[in-house]
Amino acid sequence: MNALLAALLGVVEGITEYLPISSTGHLILASRLFGLEGEGADAFDVVIQLGAILAVVVHFRGLLWERTVGLASRKPESLSLLVALALGFVPTAIAGFLLRKKIKALLFGPAPVAIALVVGGVVMIVVELVRAKKKTVGLVGLEHVTPLRAFLIGVGQCVSMWPGSSRSMCTIVTGQLTGLSTATAAEFSFLLGLPTLGAATIYEAYKSRDALAGVGATNVVIGLVVSFFVAWAVVAAFIGYLKRRGLVPFGLYRIALGILVFVVLVR
């Protein structure tokens, strides 16, 4: 791997991590296209998520600081967000611990990614059309993320362990189905990504530290920095977009990409 390729993968990660189009799926496909395979390449794809994680911290810095300070005085809104994030994280942590190795062995390839892209795209479009027909707006504001909603979103997040499905898609759509507005579901999805992606990144960095050394520290830093700045811009733009429009264009993109993957990469 060279610096240019590391930067390119950082761009892919930054764009796709928080859009409902699957960062893991895109990185797997990009790695295959550029001939990057092996434990080091897989670990690199996970570790550069740290840049995207930091982008969410920066974007929500005001809210996170307010809620952190509020915990000291036991403010209800701070405690409720902490509980919601914990309940959303636990199902994925358990599923990841039990199924991670099997999923990585069976599903990290073009065919499973293509299937997930198409199925996820169809689900997104159907949910959007049903909501439009019923003129559903949804509840606006993180205060509406109750413990039950948070847990259900966490269960939905477990589906995203299938590469190509997209953590953002699974959590946003589940949030919509529990009655949240699309923008609020996205905001909670991004915040839930902090413990979820953070835990995965730390674990993968430690477990694959020797393989990462082969990739090169400079390349890892380049991927992290690029993914941070790209994701920072994407998060702000995506939340603004969702306050005005829906997810149908992303669903159509997923279906088109899934079909393309079948035609080009699946043999």
- Top-confidence residue, 264 or 98: 98
Cβ proximity of 189 and 88 under 8 Å: no
Other beta carbons less than 10 A from residue 109's beta carbon: 15
Residue 106 sits in which domain range?
3-264
pLDDT in tens, 20-39: 988 877 887 887 778 777 77
| φ and ψ at residue 139, rounded to 5 degrees | -80, 135
Overall number of domains in the chain? 1
Judged against a pLDDT cut of 70, whether residue 267 lies above it is answered with: no
Judged against a pLDDT cut of 70, whether residue 145 lies above it is answered with: yes
pTM value? 0.89
pLDDT in tens, 159-206: 999 988 989 999 999 999 999 999 999 999 999 999 998 888 888 788
- Kindly report which listed range (50-54, 114-118, 132-136, 261-265) carries the lowest average pLDDT score: 261-265
